[in-house]
Amino acid sequence: MERLRIEITGIVQGVGFRPFVHNLAGRHSIGGWVANDGRGVVIEAEGEQAALAAFLAALRAEAPPLAVVGAVTARPLPPAGERGFAIRTSAAADARTALISPDVATCPDCRAEIADPLDRRYGYPFTNCTNCGPRYTIVNDVPYDRERTTMAAFTMCPACRAEYDDPANRRFHAQPNACPACGPAYRLLDRDGRPLAGDPLAEARRLVAAGSVAAIKGLGGFHLACNALDAAAVAALRARKVREDKPFAVMAGSLAAAKARCLVDKAEEELLAGPARPIVLLTKGPGYDLAAAVAPGNPCVGMMLPYAPVHWLLLAPDDVWVMTSGNTSDEPIAYEDGDALARLAGIADFFLVHNRPINCRADDSVARVFGGKPYLLRRSRGFAPAPLRLKRPGPAVLACGGELKSAFCLTRDDQAFMSAHVGDLENMATYGAYTAAIEHYEKLFAVRPELVAHDLHPEYLATKYAMDCGLPRIGVQHHHAHIAAVLAEHGADGPVIGAAFDGTGYGDDGRLWGGEFLLADLKGYTRLAHLEYMPLPGGAAAIREPWRLAAWVLHDLYGADFVNKDIPFVRSLPAGWELLLAAAAKGLNAPLASGAGRLFDACAALLGVRGKINYEGQAAVELELAAAGRKGRVLPYAITAGEPARLDFRPAFAAMVAALEQGAAPAELAADFHATLADAVAATVRRLAAASGVRTVALSGGVFQNVTLLGAVVARLEQDFTVLLHRSVPPNDGGLALGQAAVAIERSR
């Protein structure tokens, strides 16, 4: 007989790992015990040598589906003659490095129970087991035990306790275990917070069917919901939320309902139906019948499937409901009942609330499929706070991220913990959510940062937070952070030729960068090339009103004579444009920018696609939609030699003007623009590779959410280069903090 002390790290708490170990020990005739501790799971196992070897191998090979086993270490102990095997109370957390699972969609077994009239959990909206249910959103601290979750106030009834204590039951040590007799419950309230009569879920279904807008409390916060086939209800929600054009996400009651309305390939189906259950961008199909205001003018719709029991109980299999974040524009998602009633009473007709507190808000994640693999656009519920693995350990870093699509990152040893999506740091409500989330992450993962990394923009609230936190600071240029995030994801050091394309990032020269080619590694970069600078007439107003950029492009090409061009854009110029361009020509309130996003804006306005925007990136989104399905021709452009080189697209704009005068369709020219930009990116990369000898390319920045451009660039490069793309974090500013952290760690060496 031999005895081993086995310590296991990774995501091994809250995923049924201790019950799994208990049952595995019984199968191999192993004595001893298992417990959670502050690091993960600790086991003392005693048995014959061959049985112990088989037991050790099975710990990794047969782990529960939600477990992510990290290190498994074993050391010998003197045999104690122990025959039985027990699950012990969690050890005191002297070291607190255990990992927490993200929230996981309801498993098939639990779905079967809530649909079975003979089951005691029939219709119960908080049904879960060790294979599914809430995790991160209910955790207060580690080790992960019921008393350190928001389920602490609910005492298990005898039936639930019997399941919890039964090694043969899938709820054996399931911390959120509950039933209608002892667990949380839903209530239905009017917009003044008064209770409404009737069964809460049945009445909520009836009200939505009748055209009402609901505020529904789920796993990580509130959704605003209505029947997606009801044009009047969708229009009411859009008007009340003051969301003029941006598409709504929808939830289909079943995979069949999603497939009936959208084109869904195998990779998209796996992403839709997987345990993370993100919103997936899908192409509308021939059977698409949702209200036009769900995704106006867009060939795609963001679709998700039910992921909490309440969704399966509210939506019939054929239903499709709008399920958009429970917030007002630019504010964080509401997750507390009182706050939701205060903020959403002007939007929702009624509130479906429950009494299980949400400790950590988590908005829905958003993804699409590119190249047959998931391509995350927002990393939140279902993914956070699972760590990303860094290539090598380093000091503890807090990376503060950027302003738009904000997320921060904490590192510990070789792990990077990206936060759930916070939102745009442009108001104090979001800033408060941001600072509270940082405090909780530091507590949950026992990280005391030694360094803080931040963007160079002095006016970002995230930068100001870094300045005020009293730690040694490392500033990281915005686009270097984008490229470093790709490197960190792939465990690469560089150097790479990085193309970082977005709207705006603060440059080393004080100008606004955004169309950058960098020779970069994790420590530093050289700016090898960039898009030609363009003034922003009227400053930030030019981002909200892209017609200003198009007018400047024409003025730059033709001078005052551009008003004689026989094109629709010129005929639609608003009053006051002359003074605006005159001021810009003198450099008055017209900062210079090299952003690729501004290039898209100018093109969208010139072609009549979008002259004013109602949400960030709208002009670029609609320009991509206009180009959909068309190959496009490469128009002329220039690459001016220098250090750095400059890409000039004025020849392309001149060609577009000439084509418009000849009656060319704007959609064709939108496709030409994409093809031209992709060709210019590839040509620049080849030129820089020839000079540097570097054969690996990294693509990042919010512009590469545009899969038309991304696909065209990758197709031009993948035969001759190793092309690194984002997969685990977004290409937009939601991934920025990972790059900041990676740079800070390397510079600290």
Q: What is the pLDDT confidence band of residue 738, given thresholds at 50, 70 and 90?
A: very high
Q: Which of 96, 91, 98, 726 is nearest to 386 (CA)?
A: 98
Q: Peptide bond preceding 247: is omega within 30 degrees of 0, i.e. cis?
A: no
Q: What does the block give as tokens for 155?
A: 């005492």
Place of tokens 């106030």: 153
Is the pLDDT assigned to residue 739 strictly greater than 70? yes
Label residue 629 by pLDDT band (50, 70, 90): confident
Q: Average pLDDT for residues 95-121, to the nearest whole number?
A: 90
Is this structure's pTM higher than 0.85?
A: yes
pLDDT at 456: 96
Range 71-94 average pLDDT: 85
C-alpha to C-alpha distance for 368 and 621, rounded to whole angstroms = 15
Q: What's the mean pLDDT in 502-507?
A: 94
Q: How many residues does the chain have?
A: 749
Helix (H) or strand (E) holding 648: strand 645-648
| Amino acid letter for position 222 | F
Residue 93 is predicted with a pLDDT of 55
Burial of 76 from C-beta contacts in 10 A (0-12 / 13-18 / 19+) = exposed
Cβ neighbourhood burial of 525 (10 Å; 0-12, 13-18, 19+): buried
Q: What is the pLDDT of residue 287?
A: 96
The whole-number average pLDDT for the span 410-430 is 92
pLDDT(304) > 90: yes
Q: Which residues of 358-369 are buried (b: 16+ CB within 10 A; e: fewer)?
A: bbbbbbbbbbbb
Bridge partners, residue 11, by sequence = 68
94, pLDDT greater than 90: no
Q: 34: which 2 tokens?
A: 């298992």
Rounded to an integer, what distance in angstroms lies between the CA atom of residue 53 and that of residue 48? 9
In the DSSP assignment, the letter for residue 45 is E
Q: Name the pLDDT band for 107 (thresholds 50, 70, 90).
A: very high
Domains of the chain by start residue, with CATH? 2-87 (3.30.70.100), 186-366 (3.90.870.40), 367-489+730-748 (3.30.420.360), 531-724 (3.30.420.40)
Q: Would you state the pLDDT for residue 92?
A: 61
Average pLDDT rounded to a whole number, residues 21-32: 93
Angle at 222 between CA 221 and CA 223, to 5 degrees: 130
Using the predicted structure, report yes or no on whether residue 292 has a pLDDT greater than 80. Answer: yes
Contact 105, 46 (CB under 8 A): no
Provide the percentage of residues in the chain whose pLDDT is more than 70: 99
CA 376, CA 469: separation in Å to the nearest integer? 30
> Given pLDDT bands bounded at 50, 70 and 90, which one contains residue 70?
confident
Query: pLDDT tens digits, residue range 706-730?
Result: 999 999 999 999 999 999 999 999 9
Total Cβ atoms within 10 A of residue 81: 8
In 3D, which of 738, 713, 709, 740 has the Cα closest to residue 724?
713
Model confidence pLDDT, tens digit, residues 568-593:
999 999 998 999 999 999 999 999 99
For the chain, give the percent of residues with pLDDT over 90.
Answer: 86
pLDDT attached to residue 141: 84
Binning the chain into helix, strand and coil, the percentages to the nearest 5 are: 35, 25, 40
Query: For the residues of 308-364, what is the DSSP string, one character each?
Result: SHHHHHHS-TT-EEEEEESS-TTSPPP-SHHHHHHHHTTT-SEEEEESS--SS--PP
Encode pLDDT of 51-62 as tens digits. 999 999 999 999
- pLDDT one-digit tens code per residue, 546-559: 999 999 999 999 99
Close Cβ partners of 482 (under 8 Å, ≥ 6 residues apart): 498, 500, 502, 505, 700, 701, 731, 735, 736, 739
CB 218 within 8 A of CB 314: no
Q: What is the mean pLDDT of residues 239-259?
A: 94
Q: Are 91 and 42 in contact (CB under 8 A)?
A: yes
**What average pLDDT does range 105-122 have in this prediction?**
97
Q: What is the mean pLDDT of residues 730-738?
A: 97
Residue 14 pLDDT exceeds 90: no
Q: Of 97-106, 165-174, 682-691, where does the model show the most confidence?
A: 682-691
Provide the pLDDT confidence category of residue 40 given band limits of 50, 70 and 90: confident
pLDDT of residue 459: 92
